[in-house]
Structure 1
């Protein structure tokens, strides 16, 4: 393609080679040829003697379409205004012994719909291992940081402490649900099979002279030759477009997980507690040389929004199909189905890169804890005073007054939180002065976060990833752009 022509950034800039190839024109037209070949093989096996061994051998020899044949088919389509028939013609010219039996008894959707279903399953086979590796990388990150206390946030306001590892489990748990959903969707994909122009198999019944058993056997044989276990029992001219909803729903849901995860990291980067990888020669801003923009996470958020929106294409398309079919599904599916998988692929590559090199800044985390912990420790202080014989009500009032004074220093004067120093200088609290350091130990404020993280990773995550253990690798994932 000329550099002067528009190319979608999904394939030209971001997506992996393997995902781009699945939805490439060469793979599409080559898959059509495989479908025609397997139809001919099945028809011959079931009893159509008109299909010769020579015809099948020629088709096998020319399965992969050439650049010249693609150009020839473009010219033919400009004449006949029908892409499938243009390729039937070109394939017949290439395989003259098969020219008369290519596409025998079939409608266009035999190749277009069955090919799409093959692409959707193949595309999931690219995504799922990448998601497995993302979960595995984040699980290791969670274990490495399971004991590191960090300020928790609710409403983006300081809350009780958690740990860096426990926070990561929140990301991982959603991704595990995405893995479950993707695997279900992948395994549920079947083929349309050979159903004829309106789904009645009338043309095939005619070919086999009214033998219903042979028609059913033909359907089963084609599906088995193509490596599928499931054939949809009822179709119109197309497979139900509701299948596309089932296929894209897990991707849209995954997009939401990606956006949440990346947004958390963007907020943490602003707090300078955790950053995505930042390469030595990377430029954060053309004007502000000091900047370290979280551009990978920003890309994730941007593309995640796009991915979520594509589900609506499938929902709207499925809802307006008339009777056995209408063609207003064609153009939009050519865009939305590849776009969804290309986008999900980019998200996974980017997130795997991020997870390969997340940077944690414990000193920054510790400083922020120290600025907020005195307020959170007031209940511990009160309980310690009660144990020394003090009155809870009296202690509460003393703490309330000192807390307001310390808060004024922070908010009005821009100073540090000096509540603990005020407690140390207030005679009322003398019975617990020696206990204050222990009362302010951050590790005593994280509850069961370390234990929860360890059990979650070693039990829940390990069990979920067991069936994928051969697909896990620990190599750092690089970004091309």
Structure 2
């Protein structure tokens, strides 16, 4: 940044400045990325020395080890070099050699640029998933506790966004948690399957390494075994070109961006529930809902989650296009877009999970309001039971259905056109056809009778020893010591 210029004078991404965690922002920083390059060059040199390459000296390794983390001065040297050479990897090779002169002649020995760029991306994606998974498990844990707490509280269900057979507040939360559990499983799977590119040469044939090892193919394999072990990967991909296949990026993206779809669904539901005044996200004492309308309690956290999720869900198409547009063994039009897409994908997912943690750890439920809205619709909800009981007493199912249809339309007219309360029950009690069950109607108006097995479903899935408890068990130590994340703003 030029002297005298403030950070406020240049564009700053809102992801790092406003929404995501310092840990995720740091992981994808230039210092992290280029220090990872240096670590990869050191791993390559160490492995080559272990396999008998005499040009790699211990002094060279010691100097490389001492300068793995780039300083601001290192970045300036690299900037000057890149302006002259128009090649970022070679600029950093020269910058590393300037502080590790004993290694200057062997840094990047046998490698192509993708040795550092691609392997670094794989390391960063692996570490980013390791940051996301505990946060996702924490949100699932929040929802599991919430679901169990409210497992038996009847609430209106909706199909077509119209009132349907009752469920419970906890049952809806259990559905949210199950979607997130699927996301957890998907990310865990791609994380476990992630491999290394390793040292494969310029087109994936290992020709350069076959040369430096005097035609010894076993040493080429041993080199990659060493690199994988040192970098913490199970193996290299069986086939590489100049790069690892961009199919890997797409598979990772499909797993990570699936979280966006789940988050948007959850945030959308909460926004509707807030509009109905049934359930709200946390609202702080001094929080302002609107600059003009002081009474407002806008669900701004859920809206933010929804917005970020929409952007996250746009990423798979970009990764798919990058994969499909790689001609033959590689074209460089994958470079600039991946510099944006990979970090942004993880920064978005991180910001979404911070928001979801905050919201799900402090959801506010208004049981009386929920019951009020249930009672508005309950007279319609009991009609199916009424029909079944009449049929059991010998009445025609079709005639009972027609009688209910007529009365329900009349009651609906009162509600919609006249703004009056639902008088369906009074109409039933005044209609002779329903006389056989008049004495039972009041007992039918208990909302807990119409939630089916909701409470059992919640307990089995979210309760002690349930599916979710087993699924998030590997993250329990982290969850237990984590307090709810606060949004940056």
User: 2:422 and 2:355 mapped to 1: Cα distance?
Assistant: 39
Distance 1:420 1:327, change over 3 A: same
Return the offset for 1:433.
3.9
State the Cα deviation string for residues 323-382 of structure 1 (Å, max 9, x = none): 221101000000001010000000000001000111111111111111111012123234
Query: Once the 2 structures are TM-superposed, how far is the Cα of residue 475 of structure 1 from its aligned partner?
Result: 2.1
2:351 equivalent in structure 1 = 346
Pairing of 1:24-423 with structure 2 (within 5 A): 24-385=29-390, 396=401, 398-423=403-428
Unaligned runs of 5+ in 2: 2-6
| 1:448 aligns to 2:456 (yes or no) | no
2:313 partner SS = helix
CA distance in 2, matches of 1:209, 1:389: 94
1:179-238 deviations in Å (ceiling 9; x for gaps): 110001111111110011111111111111111111211121112111111211211111
Q: CA deviation at 1:471?
A: 2.5
| Deviation (angstroms), 1:393 | 6.1
Q: Shift of the alpha carbon at 1:470?
A: 2.3
Decide whether aligned partners of structure 1 residues 400 and 95 sit closer, same or farther in structure 2, where only a CA change above 3 A counts.
closer
Say if 1:237 and 1:386 are closer, same or farther in 2 by CA, change over 3 A.
Answer: closer
Alpha-carbon distance, 1:436 to partner = 2.2
1:397 deviates by 5.3
What residue ranges of structure 1 are gaps of 5+ in the alignment? none
- Are 1:436 and 2:444 matched, yes or no? no
Q: How far is the alpha carbon of 1:426 from its aligned partner?
A: 4.7
| Structure 2 Cα separation of the partners of residues 438 and 293 of structure 1 | 39
* Distance in 2 separating the partners of 1:391 and 1:373: 23
Shift of the 370–91 alpha-carbon distance from structure 1 to 2, 3 Å rule, reads same
CA apart distance, 1:398: 4.8
What is the root-mean-square deviation of aligned Cα atoms in Å?
1.7
1:465 aligns with 2:458: no
Q: What secondary structure sits across from 1:3 in the alignment? A: helix
Residue in structure 1 matching 2:485, options 471, 477, 480? 477
Q: Is the Cα contact below 8 Å between 1:251 and 1:308 reproduced in 2?
A: no
Aligned-partner Cα distance in 2 for 1:66–1:419: 76
CA distance, structure 1, for counterparts of residue 136 and residue 44 of structure 2 = 35
TM-score (norm 2): 0.95
1:160 Cα offset (Å): 0.6
SS at match of 2:192: helix
Matched positions, count: 481
What secondary structure does 2:175 align onto?
Answer: helix
1:386 Cα deviation after fit: 5.3
Q: How far apart, in 2, do the equivalents of 1:465 and 1:399 lie?
A: 48
Distance (Å, rounded) in 2 between the aligned partners of 1:396 and 1:227: 67
For 2:4, the equivalent position in structure 1 comes to: none
Bigger CA drift: 263-272 or 460-469?
460-469
State which drifts further: 74-83 or 373-382.
373-382
TM-score w.r.t. structure 1 length?
A: 0.96
Distance change in 2, residues 1:389/1:235 (3 Å): closer
Give secondary structure in 2 for the equivalent of 1:472.
Answer: helix
Whole-Å separation in 1 of the counterparts to 2:400 and 2:68: 84
Give the Cα separation in 1 of the matches to 2:319 and 2:399.
64
For residues 478 and 270 of structure 2, the distance between their equivalents in structure 1, rounded to whole angstroms, comes to 27
Secondary structure of residue in 1 paired with 2:472 = helix
